[in-house]
Amino acid sequence: MLTRLSWRSNSVNRRGGFVRKPRVAQIALFIASALVLQVIDNMLMIPIPIPGGKLGLANIATLIALDIFGLPTLMLISVVRASLGAFLSGGLMAVFYSLSGAILSTLVMWPVHRSGVIKRKTITKFGVGVLGAVAHNIGQILVAILLLKSVAILSYLPILLITSAFSGAITGWVSMKIKINT
C-alpha cells in the first residue's frame, strides 16, 4: 500500500458518528492532486517516441475518485482538471483535446467501474485504467478529425492505442495500490 487517505473529520454529529468533510473540499483536493500529477507528468522526460505521448498520471486521481463520487461529480473533477491542466501546460487548442479525452474516458470508466465487474473481479482498476486511457486517446483523435477536417489522422490511432494501453496499465496499477478510507 502506497498511501492511506482518510476523509473523516474530527467533528462528531448529534448521533455520535463522524461527519464527512464538505464535498467541496474533497472535490478540490482531487482536482488539485490531479493537477499536481499532470505537472509532474509534463516534467518527466520519458522517451516515448510518440508526439504528445505521456503517462497520464492525472488519471490516477480520477481512478481513485471512481470509488467515492457519482458520475456528475466525477465529470466535474475531470472537466475542471482537464481545462486547468491544458491552460497551464498547452494553451487554448490543448483544452479541446484534453476536454474531449477527459469526458470520453470518464464516460467509459464510470459505468464499467460501477457495474459491479470490479467486485466480481472480472476487471480490476488495472483494466479500468487501460479502458480510460484508450478512450482518452480516441476522444482526442475525434477532436483532431473535427479540427483538422481530415481522417488521415486515424493512421496515428493504432500507435496511440498501444501507448495508451501501456500508460493506462501503469495508472491503473498505481490507483489499485492506494487505499482510501471513506
Q: What is the pLDDT of residue 21?
A: 58
Considering its fold, how many domains does the chain have in total?
1
Taking only Cα atoms into account, the Rg of the chain, rounded to an integer number of angstroms, comes to 17
pLDDT in tens, 90-143: 778 888 888 999 999 999 999 988 886 666 667 788 889 999 999 999 999 999
- Taking CA atoms, 84 is separated from 20, 36, 107, in Å, by 27, 11, 20
Question: CA torsion, points 65, 68, 70, 74, in degrees to nearest 10?
Answer: -20
pTM exceeds 0.85, yes or no:
no
Instruction: Identify the segments of the chain with pLDDT beneath 70.
Output: 1-22, 45, 47-52, 116-121, 180-182
Q: Which residue has the cell 479525452?
A: 101
Q: What is the pLDDT of residue 119?
A: 66
> How many other CB atoms are there within 10 angstroms of residue 21's CB atom?
15
At 165, which CATH number? 1.10.1760.20
Q: Which residue has the cell 479502458?
A: 131
- The domain in which residue 128 lies consists of 3-181
Q: What is the pLDDT of residue 134?
A: 94
Angle at CA of residue 67, ends 70 and 46, nearest 5°: 110
Please state, in angstroms and rounded to a whole number, the distance separating the CA atoms of residues 121 and 76: 28
Nearest Cα residue to 101 out of 125, 132, 76, 77: 132
Angle at CA of residue 114, ends 8 and 95, nearest 5°: 85
Q: Which residue has the cell 491542466?
A: 85
